[in-house]
Chain A
Amino acid sequence: MSDLSNLDFNSMTAAEFEQYLPELFASGESGRLSEDPRLSRFLAANPDCAALVRDLETIAETAKSLLVPDQDEPSDALWSKIANKLQQGTDDNDEPVDLSK
């Protein structure tokens, strides 16, 4: 893992910054990288990097909205298949489950 504590972002090139980005995002998961005060000067001086950071943050934030429960459903027949398998016992060590009670 890269040690980020001694980095001087103000003297960093855009290419160097990109090399550290995976680790920076991983270390700053509780907050937005675009609002990290250590990076404010660098990002102000490198608008392309600032745009990249904002875009990646947007993607990560939108991804959370994909965790929407109840949006898809398996076919109605699936429970019957599962219940049948449970009644049969699905491997040699399984006791059949009586689902007819």
Chain B
Amino acid sequence: MGLQGLQTMQTKPNAGLFKRNPPIAGEAEAIERAKNGDPDAFSKLYSLHKRRVYTLCLRMLGNVSEAEDMTQEAFLHLFRKLGSFRGESAFSTWLHRLTVNLVLMHLRKKGLQLVSLEETINPSEEDAPKRDFGSRDTQLAGSVDRVTLERAVASLPPGYRMVFVLHDVEGFEHNEIATMLECSTGNSKSQLHKARLKLRELLRHPDQVPETESSREVVQ
């Protein structure tokens, strides 16, 4: 989906994301001033949202250099398209979707197939979660350490990671993810489930979760 799709999607505000993205003090004024070309307002919007955009890019890409490049692209795109922001969703939601779509387009340009039906039906031996229930005596103890989870997420195969981050971390719904990733909602649900199963495996043996560049950067 291109950015046209993004604009179509944002006409139906997502109450959940509104709740998770409350307006920021001074933001509305900065948006209006930036629409009129006020350079200080551009700078203000960048300061308000740079961390969220960068963290999202880093989590999706797992690479600091690419995350910075995509953060730059996201803000350049934001400033060019700001006039089309109508306030039908929270500004941070709009920027968030814009960023997600830019990252997805970037990954597609790199030739990465984000959600593979083949992977769902016939996952590779190495990447697929094991199809057993595991023993109860090693079940997760009611809570999972956030740092370990972040590291485990970073080590997921790209297709699983993308759906997990979009759904469980960022709060997108399956129909939205299906539109973004150009797959069916069933495929999105299946990928999410496999991602969680894979994470469960990883979290049961946290000492075996590899440390990645992304997890080193994201987890402080």
Give A contacts to B, CB under 8 Å: 1, 14, 18, 21-23, 25-26, 47-49, 51-52, 54-56, 58-60, 62-67, 69-75, 78-79, 81-83, 85-86, 90, 94, 97-101
Are the CB atoms of B133 and A59 closer together than 8 Å?
no
The interface stretch among B4-12, B104-112, B165-173 is B165-173
Whether B186 is near chain A, meaning CB under 8 Å from some CB there, is yes
Whether B149 is near chain A, meaning CB under 8 Å from some CB there, is yes
Are the CB atoms of B139 and A55 closer together than 8 Å?
yes
Output the least CB separation between A71 and chain B (Å): 6
Q: Which of A49, A55, A79, A90 contacts B80 (CB 8 A)?
A: A90
Whether B91 is near chain A, meaning CB under 8 Å from some CB there, is no
Complex Cα distance, B169 from A100, in Å, reads 38
Chain A residues, Cβ within 8 Å of B89:
none
Output the least CB separation between A101 and chain B (Å): 6
Whether B86 is near chain A, meaning CB under 8 Å from some CB there, is no
Whether B153 is near chain A, meaning CB under 8 Å from some CB there, is yes
Whether B99 is near chain A, meaning CB under 8 Å from some CB there, is no
Q: Which of A14, A59, A83, A98 contacts B200 (CB 8 A)?
A: A59
- Known contacts A21-B193, A56-B200, A82-B76; A63/B149 CB under 8 A: yes
Complex Cα distance, B52 from A1, in Å, reads 34
Residue of A at shortest CB range from B145? A62
Chain A residues, Cβ within 8 Å of B55:
69, 71-72
Interface footprint category on B:
35 or more
Residue of A at shortest CB range from B46? A79
Chain A residues, Cβ within 8 Å of B220:
71-72
Are the CB atoms of A67 and B196 closer together than 8 Å?
no
- Known contacts A1-B186, A14-B133; A54/B139 CB under 8 A: yes
- Chain B positions 110 through 154: 1 when the CB is less than 8 Å from some CB of chain A, otherwise 0: 000000000000000000000101111001101110100110010
